[in-house]
Structure 1
C-alpha cells in the first residue's frame, strides 16, 4: 500500500470567539503567513513607486527635450524603458509571493474545516446535508481566501492614488485638487454599494449550496434515479435550484450595473477637468504641456484603483457571507469527544448495556431500557423486527452516539471514559451497507491497518471469502474499485468490508447484518472461517438468517428497544412465540425478495 504524504498541520486556526468580526476571527491565519504576504505587499508597493515615476519622466522629457530642447530625448527614452523592465520584474515577484500566500491560506482553511468535520459525530451528519458541507468546504473557502490574500494587495494597489496625488501636488497643487474632485463621490458610492450587496452575497452562497446538494444527491443516487426513470423530474429539481441562483446573480448584476459604471467613469470626468483647467493654465503660462500630459497619465492611474475599490467591496461582502457560513460549522461543537481523564483497561471483550435509553435526533426512540450482557469470547446473535434497535446497539458500543440514559460498558468501563480511537480499535463494526473507497482492493481492506502487508491482507480476504473473486479480477488486489465500490456486487462489497474489519483484529466484532447480500453457500464458507476467528473474540451478530444465527452461542430477542428473551436458538424456538414470529417474518421477506 502506498504511503500517503504526511499532512502539514495548519499554522494557525480561526479565533474561537464568535462575538468578534469575521476578519478578526480569521486574523490568526493571516498573521501565520505574514512573512510571505508582507514580502508580496512590499514588492507591490515598490512596483507602484516605480510606476508613478514614469509620467514624471515623460513630463520632464517633453518640457526639456521637445519644447525647451535643453536635454537629449534618448536619455529619457532609455530611462523610461529601464523603469518599465524593473517594474515588470518587481510585479512578477510580487504576484508569485501573493499566489503562494493565497494557496497557503487556502490549505490551512481547508484543513481546519475538514479536521473539524472529522471530529463531528454521527448526529451532526444526520442533520446536515452533504452538498451543503461540500459548498462550504469549497466555494466558501475560496471566497474567504481570495479576500484575505488579494484584499490587502488590492488595497496596496489603491495607494497609487495617494502616491500619484502627492506627486501631482508637488508639480502643481491647484491642478492636483482639480484631478481629485471626483474621488470623494466615488468613496460615498462605494459605501452605499457595499450595503446593497451584502444580503445578496449571502443569498448567492446559500443557493449555490442548494445546487451542490441536488447535484451531490443525484450523483450518489444515480442508480435509483435511473431505476425509476426519474431523470426528467430530477433535472426539473436542479433547474428550480439553478433558477434560484440565476435570480440571485441577476439581482447582484443589477446592483453592480447601477453603481459600477458611475464609479468607473467618474475618474474620466476628472480627466476632462484636468484637460480643461490645465489647458487654460497652459494658455495663461501657469503650467507646461508636459505637466498636462503627466497629469493625464496620473488620472488614468487613478481609474484602476477605484475600479478595484468596487471589486474589493464586492469581494468583502462575498467573503463575509462565506466566512459566516464556515463559522457556522466551526462553531458547532463536537458532541462526542475524548474524556478529560481517559481510562484504558486491559482488553477482554466484555460488553454490557445497563438500562440504556436512546433516541435519534429526529425523535425516533431506538432503545428503551435495554439490558444486555455479552461475556468475553461469547458470540451473541441479536434478533428482532426491523426498527427494533439492533443496529443501534452497534452504534452505541462504538460510541457513534451517546446514550440518553443508562450506560454502555466495554471491559467494565463506560465508553464515555475511553479515548475514541482506542474504543473504536477495540470495537470493530461491519455495517449492512459497506462503503468502499475509490482505491485498490488492497487499500480498502487495509484501511484500518495501513501498514499491513499483502500476506496479511490476503489472509483477511480469505477468511472473509473474498480472496477468490479478488484474484479473478484483472489486477487482483491492485484493482481499483469504482466510486463507493459499485463496480462490485453487494455481496462482494460485504466480503471486502468483513475482511477490512478482520484485518484490524478487534477484541469485539459486531456484524450488523453484514452477510445479508451474500449467497447462502458463500455465507456458509465464511461462517466456517469465522467460527475459527471468533473462538477467542467477542462477537455480536445482528442476524436475520438461520445460518447466521447458527454462529451464535446465545440468541437475544430485541423488541421495542428492549431485550425480551435470551437463550439458545432451539430453546427460544420452543418456548418463545415472539421469536418464532420474527424468524417466520424474516423468512417470508427473504422468499419474497428471492422470488
Structure 2
C-alpha cells in the first residue's frame, strides 16, 4: 500500500494561536467533519422532539383523555430509532475524521523529523521525540475532531431553550437560570488547568526518555548490575508525573462537581416554580415533565463542556510541544536550485573547519583530496577528526568553514537524496532493523533480487554465517541486530553499502569487530569491489591500511602527513606511534 501524503500541513506562522495554526489540517478534512456535525445536529433536533411528544401525550391522552396514547408511544419509539441511526452515522464519520487527522499529524511530524540533520538529534532525546510523536499528537487529534462535535452537542441547550420558550416563557427562564454561572466556572477552570496540562505532558516525555534509554541500554544496565539505580530513576520520574496528575485531579474535583450539579439545581427550580404554576392553573403536568426532561438533557452537554475545556488545555500544551519541533528549521537543506549529477568520485576537502553542535571542534583548516577511484586510509588518534570526514562528505553536517566538493561541485549544491545515494557509509557501530537479513541488506535498494543480495553478502564475507542460520536470508534479526555478533552486524552493513554500488564509499572502521582471519578474506573481496571506486577508509588496523593506495595521518583536526604506508613509517614518528598504540589495543582485545 502506497503512503498517502498529508492533505494539508500546519500553518508555519508561529505568531498565530495553536488552534489557528492547525486550521488548515481541519479544513482539509472538512467534508467528513461537516457531515458528522450535520448528522449530530440532526440527531439533536430529533432528540428534543421526544420530550415535547411526551408533554402532548400526557396532557391530551392521559389528563384530558382526548387522544390515542398508543399513537404517541409509537411516535416516540420511531423517533428514538431514527435518532439511533443518525447518531451511528455521525459517530462513524467523526471517528473517520479523527483517524485521518491523526494520520496526517503523524506524517507531518515524522516527515519533519527525517529532514532534520544529525546535529538536531545530537541535542534532543529520543524519548522526548517519541512522546511528542505519540501522546501529544493524540491529544491534539482528540480536540480537533471531538471538540467541534462537543460544541454541536452543547447546541442542544439552545434548541431545547427555544422549544421551552415556545411552551412556557417564565418556566424556560427558570430552567436556564444556572447556565451563565456554568459558563463563568468553565472559563475559570480553563485558566487553572492549563499549566498543569503542560507539566503533565512534559513529565510524560521525561518518563518516556528514561524508559527508552533503559530498554535500549538494557545490556549495559545488566552488565553493571544497575537495575536498582535505574528503577529508582524510573520511580522518581513516575513520582513527578503522579504529583502532576494529583494537581490535575484536585482542580477537576474542585470544578467538576459544580459543573455537573448546577443543572440539577435548575431541575429543582423547575419542579418548584412549575409545581406552583400547575397549582395556579398557569401550566400543565405534561409541561413540567417535558421541562424536567429538557433540564436533564442539559446535563450531559455541560459535562462534556467541562471535558472539552480540559481536552483543550491538554491539546494546547501538546500542540505547543509539537510546534517546537516543527518550528525548528533544518540547517542541512537542499539548495534553491540543486543539481543531481552522476558523480565520478573526485572528493576534496578544502580548508575545512567544523565544530559539532555541542561546541566540540573536530576539524581546523583541513585540506585533503581523493582522486576518482583512489583508496585512501585515514589514520589518527582518538578525537583527531577521522570519522567526521565521512559525515561531511555525505552532508550529515554542513562545514563551519571551507567546503567539501565532489567532482568540483560543492556538496551543498547537490540534491541531498542524489548525494546520499552516491556516497555510501559503513559506520563502526552499524544499525540493523528488526527485519530479515535480506531486507536489511537490501534496505537502500528494496527492489534488489535475492541473487544481488547474496552477491553483496559474499563480497562482505557475510554469506557463510547467514547460510548457517536456520532461516538463512529470511532470518529476522532482533532489535538493533543484537541477536548477531558485532562482527556479523558489520558484515551485513558492508553488504548493505556494497549493494548500493556507490561511486564513493566510506568505511568508518567498518571491520573493527571482525576477526582478523575473516577480515583478510573480506579484504580480498573488497579490493575487487574498490576498483574504480573512491574509497575513504578510517583505519586502525595495519591489515585495513594495506587496502589503501595512500595513507593520511590526522592530528588535531588537520592532515599532518600524507604518503604511502612505507614512506610514513620511515619518516613520520607520529604515524608509527599511532600504529603501535592500535596494535597494543588489538593485542589486548585478542588476549
Shorter-chain TM-score bucket reads: over 0.9
How far the C-alpha of 1:38 sits from its partner, in A, is 0.4
| Partner of residue 322, structure 1 | 318
Is 1:189 aligned to residue 180 of structure 2? no
- Supply the distance in 1 between the matched residues of 2:577 and 2:356 (Cα, whole angstroms): 27
Q: Identify the match of residue 545 of structure 1 among 525, 541, 544.
A: 541
Q: Report the alpha carbon displacement of residue 6 of structure 1 after superposing the two structures with TM.
A: 1.0
Matched ranges for 1:422-433 at <5 A: 422-433=418-429
Q: Secondary structure at the match of 2:134?
A: helix
Partner of 1:149: 145
**Aligned equivalents of 2:340, 2:224: Cα separation in 1:** 50
Deviates more, 1:335-344 or 1:77-86: 335-344
Helix, strand or coil: the match of 1:541?
strand
Asked whether the 8 Å contact 1:36–1:98 carries over to 2, the reply is yes
For residue 352 of structure 1, what is the aligned residue in structure 2?
348
Tell me if structure 2 keeps the 8 A contact 1:352–1:408: yes
Matching of residue 512 in structure 1 with residue 508 in structure 2 = yes
- The residue aligned with 1:295 is 291
Contact preservation (8 Å) 1:345, 1:413: no
Aligned residue number for residue 462 of structure 2: 466
Structure 2 counterpart of 1:129: 125
1:169 is aligned to 165
How far apart, CA to CA, are the structure 1 residues paired with 2:62 and 2:349?
Answer: 97
Structure 2: 5+ residue runs without aligned partners?
none
2-structure distance, mates of 1:98, 1:405: 53
Number of residue pairs aligned between Structure 1 and Structure 2 = 591
- Following superposition, the deviation at residue 594 of structure 1 comes to 2.4
CA distance in structure 2 between the aligned counterparts of 1:342 and 1:320, rounded to whole angstroms: 38
User: How do 1:66-77 residues align onto structure 2 when only pairs under 5 Å count?
Assistant: 66-77=62-73
The secondary structure found in structure 2 opposite 1:436 is: coil
Q: Which moved more, 1:336-345 or 1:495-504?
A: 336-345
Q: Does 1:534 align with 2:530?
A: yes
Runs of 4+ in 1 over 4 A off after TM superposition: none
Q: Give the match for residue 6 of structure 2.
A: 10
Counterpart in 2 of 1:373? 369
Match status 1:234 vs 2:230 = yes
Q: TM-score normalised to the size of structure 1?
A: 0.99
Superposed CA RMSD in Å reads 0.7
Rounded Cα–Cα distance in structure 2 between residues aligned with 1:443 and 1:411:
32
- Asked if 1:208 corresponds to 2:204, the answer is yes
In 2: Cα distance, 1:510 partner to 1:306 partner: 64
Distance 1:477 1:510 in 2: 25
Give the match's secondary structure for 1:555.
Answer: strand
Aligned counterparts of 1:476 and 1:76: Cα–Cα separation in 2: 74
1:456 aligns with 2:472: no
Per-residue deviation, 1:354: 1.0
- Of 271, 277, 281, the residue aligned with 1:275 is 271
SS of residue paired to 1:557:
strand
2:46 maps to which of 35, 43, 50: 50
Structure 2 equivalent of residue 385 of structure 1: 381
Distance in 2 (CA, whole Å) between partners of 1:589 and 1:521 is 17
Deviation at 1:345, TM superposition (A): 4.0
Shift of 1:343: 3.0
Q: CA deviation at 1:593?
A: 2.3
The CA deviation string for residues 415-446 of structure 1, in whole angstroms up to 9 with x for no partner, is 11100011111110000000000111111000
Mapped to 2, the partners of 1:297 and 1:130 lie a distance apart of 52
**Is residue 102 of structure 2 the alignment partner of residue 106 of structure 1?**
yes
Aligned with residue 59 of structure 2, among 58, 63, 76? 63
Contact kept in structure 2, 1:355 and 1:407, CA below 8 Å: yes
| Structure 2 Cα separation of the partners of residues 221 and 270 of structure 1 | 59
Task: Give 1:403 deviation, angstroms.
Answer: 0.6
Matched-pair contact (CA < 8 Å) for 1:382–1:390: yes
Deviations 1:183-208 (A, max 9, x none): 11000000000000011111110000
> Which residue among 291, 300, 305 is the counterpart of 1:309?
305
SS at 1:535 equivalent: coil
Of residues 342-351 and 562-571 in structure 1, the stretch that sits farther from structure 2 once superposed is 342-351
Residue 395 of structure 1: how far off its partner (Å): 0.3
1:588 is aligned to: 584
State the Cα distance separating 1:590 from its structure 2 match.
1.7
1:438-453 aligned within 5 A: 438-453=434-449
The whole-number CA distance in structure 1 between the counterparts of 2:343 and 2:26 is 46
CA contact (8 A) 1:346 1:411 kept: no
Return closer, same or farther for 1:589/1:301 CA change in 2, 3 Å cut-off. Answer: same
Q: TM-score, normalised by structure 2?
A: 0.99
CA distance in structure 1 between the aligned counterparts of 2:590 and 2:539, rounded to whole angstroms: 18
Q: Give the C-alpha shift of residue 346 in structure 1.
A: 4.2
Q: Is the 8 A contact 1:345 1:411 kept in 2?
A: no
Which residues of structure 1 form unaligned runs of 5+? none
Partner of 2:240: 244
Which residue of 380, 399, 415 corresponds with 2:411?
415
| Residue 224 (str. 1) matches residue 251 (str. 2) | no
